Structure 1
Amino acid sequence: MKISSELKAFQARLGHDFARPELMMRAVTHSSVSSPTRPDNQRLEFLGDRVLGLVMAEALLFEDTGASEGQLAPRFNALVRKEACAEIAREIELGAVLKLGRSEQMSGGRRKQALLGDAMEAVIAAVYLDAGFDAAKAMILRLWGQRIKDVEEDARDAKTALQEWAQARRQPPPAYVELAREGPDHAPVFTIAARLKSGEEAQAQATSKRAAEQQAAARLLARLETEG
């Protein structure tokens, strides 16, 4: 099976040459452009999530042999969540090779966090099916790299960290207010404000409420830390 020059370049960024390139093609095919002869990447996403989880669980155990389950769990969640997968996808320019329907292309699908995260998991599964667990593990450890060593600093998500900041100052938990929802139903963009009772506020936009809340919380935390 011949592949395009774009996909060859993607293989180089990924660090894996597919013996079965049809697996790579399936991994980058979104449901918006699938057909009976062109399956999408959803089943691969399901498998890739599990492969990633096993690799990260093992890596964390070896990285900190004295850590308790309670310490390992938030680190694990930080490494395997969709935001982390999407960040890796952006670094290897996965969005550039995604096969999308016209509506997804027009709505910025190549930049959507959820879509990129799902596709990254599908690519992991494709490598696993193409060359086995060791190949998938090597690729994951290479791409995640220093994040595994640094994860303790980033293990708490921004919303949790902001809530702890408020509690330490005897404030109620922050409120998350939806200020606007724009775009079509299949590709909405949410504007969310994170607000503290003391009056501080920060806003963010994202294609899901959860992502917008996390970004708003992160911005507010950064502002609070800068202000002392």
Structure 2
Amino acid sequence: MKDVKYLMKEINYSFLNLSNLKEALTHSSYSEGSNNKNYERLEFLGDRVLGLIIANELFLKNKNSSEGELAKKLSFLVCKSTLKKIASEIEIEKYLKYSSRIKSLDGIKANALEALIGAIYLDSNFEDTKTIILKLWKKYLKNINLSKIDPKSRLQEWCLKHKKKLPIYKLLSKTGPDHEPKFQIKVMVDTCTFSAAEGNSKQNAEINAAKKLLKEISDQ
């Protein structure tokens, strides 16, 4: 694992409390059976902080965009694929603590980036966090590709337009060991419009279910 001082240099921020940073870089698989904290609570916080900062930036810089257009841009900028790209750019995977049983870091990288944002916010303030986020997201804010909006956002848009309601996601099952779980999720719009799919996380299973349902809708 690489020294975190290089990560702090990469994001141009030095933590006052290193325990916040260490917690943000610790996956739950590493802390199994111990009292060590993992990044899940910070991920929750970072997700909300990121959403607010990006939404505020879009609101200020896109004065002629409608609410729907702003929502689409926000979805692209905070979706998992964008998060994974930015996480890879700062090489966050080199600083993570996780079990050797973990085979793929794709989903973990995105979650850890949100946790890192939460840790920065706790360690500093809103304005400092905003400065860091806008720097990391700079090229994505300049080049918003709406064709790459994640399936969940596209399905939500379709539902609001055609059904006037939001899709509902339901966990059907969780199988496998903690370090390699498998989730089955059902997404339902109404009794005639639904689909189910699996994934190695609830988020991925929801994305796969939304993607599958969108394909079924387009084939009708």
Shorter-chain TM-score tier: 0.5 to 0.7
1:89–1:117 contact (8 Å) kept in structure 2: yes
Aligned to 1:136: 129
Q: 1:209 to 1:132 in 2, by over 3 A?
A: same
Q: Which aligned runs of 4 or more in structure 1 are off by greater than 2 angstroms?
A: 105-109, 152-161, 184-190, 206-216
Cα deviation per residue 1:154-209 (whole Å; 9 max; x = unaligned)?
46446859xx9xxxxxxxxxxxxxxxxxxx5553689xxxxxxxxxxxxxxx8434
Q: CA deviation at 1:130?
A: 0.8
TM (norm. structure 1) is 0.66
Among 103, 111, 121, the residue aligned to 1:108: 103
Q: 1:189 to 1:88 in 2, by over 3 A?
A: farther
Q: 1:27 to 1:70 in 2, by over 3 A?
A: same
Q: Distance in 2 between matches of 1:138 and 1:146?
A: 14
1:31 is paired with a residue whose SS is coil
Cα deviation per residue 1:77-97 (whole Å; 9 max; x = unaligned)?
111122221221111111111
2:2–2:94 contact (8 Å) kept in structure 1: no
Aligned to 1:40: 38
Cα deviation per residue 1:103-157 (whole Å; 9 max; x = unaligned)?
xx33324x222x1111111000111111111111111101011211221544644
Q: 1:12 to 1:154 in 2, by over 3 A?
A: farther
Unaligned runs of 5+ in 1: 165-183, 191-205, 217-228
The structure whose Rg is larger is 1
Aligned pair count reads 175
Alignment of 1:1-228 (within 5 A): 6-34=3-31, 35-36=34-35, 38-101=36-99, 105-109=100-104, 111-113=105-107, 115-154=108-147, 156-157=149-150, 160=154, 186=178, 187=180, 207=200, 208-209=204-205
Q: CA deviation at 1:212?
A: 5.8
TM (norm. structure 2) is 0.68
Q: Which structure's residues are more often helix, by fraction?
A: 1
Cα deviation per residue 1:60-90 (whole Å; 9 max; x = unaligned)?
0122111110111111111112222122111
Unaligned runs of 5+ in 2: 159-175, 184-198, 213-220
Give percent identity, aligned residues only.
Answer: 33
Q: 1:98 to 1:5 in 2, by over 3 A?
A: closer
1:63–1:149 contact (8 Å) kept in structure 2: no
Q: CA RMSD in A?
A: 3.0
Code of the aligned partner of 1:47: L
2:59 is paired with a residue whose SS is helix
Code of the aligned partner of 2:11: L
